[in-house]
């Protein structure tokens, strides 16, 4: 496959960025998208040019680091996958592919396709934990949890914090991410002790960091690589309103 790549290049957070065009040839349809970028960077290095900076780590769809906006879609034109799981067979020979970083005020560009997603860490630090004194290590089945609740909690906990929901939302909202974190704990007995404080703290930190509001377009759900449902946003709203009423 021969492809034309239009890639966002930006030397530093304060530098002016622009799209630059590159050509790659001999790409196998079975090559992953990140491997294709590796091939491009190898060519650039051999030409004495600066390689394209992009985030990656596990390359197994687990860590959420490979955050790229490809042809107008978070993680590319496939569904419920991360960029590292996207393969070049989803494109055609001769295609022009536009590759951008996440576009969000809360995720400033560091360099090229790499953005600073530490805002997510700050939201988690604000309330995405439990501090219940459990004493010694309990038996795995010591606290009965209905299977329905356990399944929903695990579905929410599948969120990898990649930021696709923010990048694809027209408002730059982090509601799906926050909802998944709150929901995964709100459904379990261990998470109920601090439930009210958690919902208020995480929503407050989200607003403080400049994320936009949710207007229920469901774009976040459509682009989420783990298929997190917007039903969790409804639970977050209930948890938050309940906490405010208690106040």
pLDDT in tens, the chain (247 residues): 999 999 999 999 999 999 999 999 999 999 999 999 999 999 999 999 999 999 999 999 999 999 999 999 999 999 999 999 999 999 999 999 999 999 999 999 999 999 999 999 999 999 988 887 767 766 767 778 899 999 999 999 999 999 999 999 999 999 999 999 999 999 998 888 889 999 999 999 999 999 999 999 999 999 999 999 999 999 999 999 999 998 8
Burial (CB < 10 A; 0-12, 13-18, 19+), residue 121, is exposed
Residue 19's nearest CA partner among 46, 52, 49, 48 is: 52
d(CA 183, CA 97): 36
> What's the full length of the chain, in residues?
247
d(CA 168, CA 97): 18
Provide, for the chain, the percentages of residues in helix, strand and coil under a 3-state DSSP scheme, each rounded to the nearest 5: 40, 15, 50
110's tokens = 């560091």
Q: What is the DSSP string of 36-69?
A: HHHHHHHHHHHTTPPPPP---S-SSSSS-----E
d(CA 191, CA 33): 38
Structural domains of the chain in order of their starting residue, each with its CATH number = 3-110 (3.10.20.30), 117-246 (1.10.1060.10)
Burial (CB < 10 A; 0-12, 13-18, 19+), residue 142, is exposed
d(CA 216, CA 219): 8
> The whole model's pTM is what?
0.91
Q: Are 66 and 7 in contact (CB under 8 A)?
A: no
């Amino acid at each position: 496959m021969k492809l034309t790549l239009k890639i966002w290049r930006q030397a530093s957070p304060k530098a002016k960025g622009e799209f630059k065009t590159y050509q790659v040839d001999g790409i196998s349809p079975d090559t992953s998208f990140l491997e294709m970028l590796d091939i491009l960077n190898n060519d650039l290095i051999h030409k004495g040019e600066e390689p394209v900076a992009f985030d990656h780590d596990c390359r197994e769809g687990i860590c959420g680091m490979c955050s790229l906006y490809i042809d107008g879609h978070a993680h590319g034109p496939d569904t419920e996958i991360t960029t590292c799981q996207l393969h070049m067979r989803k494109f055609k020979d001769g295609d022009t592919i536009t590759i951008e970083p996440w576009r969000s005020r809360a995720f400033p560009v560091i360099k090229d396709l790499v953005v600073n997603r530490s805002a997510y860490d700050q939201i988690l630090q604000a309330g995405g934990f439990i501090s219940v004194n459990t004493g010694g290590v309990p038996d795995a089945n010591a606290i009965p949890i209905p299977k329905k609740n356990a399944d929903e909690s695990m579905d929410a906990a599948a969120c990898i914090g990649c930021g696709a929901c923010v990048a694809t939302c027209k408002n730059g909202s982090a509601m799906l991410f926050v909802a998944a974190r709150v929901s995964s704990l709100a459904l379990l007995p261990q998470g109920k002790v601090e439930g009210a404080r958690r919902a208020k703290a995480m929503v407050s930190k989200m607003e403080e960091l400049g994320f936009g509001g949710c207007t229920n377009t469901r774009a976040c759900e459509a682009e989420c690589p783990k298929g997190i449902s917007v039903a969790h946003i409804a639970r977050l709203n209930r948890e938050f309103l309940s906490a405010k009423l208690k106040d």
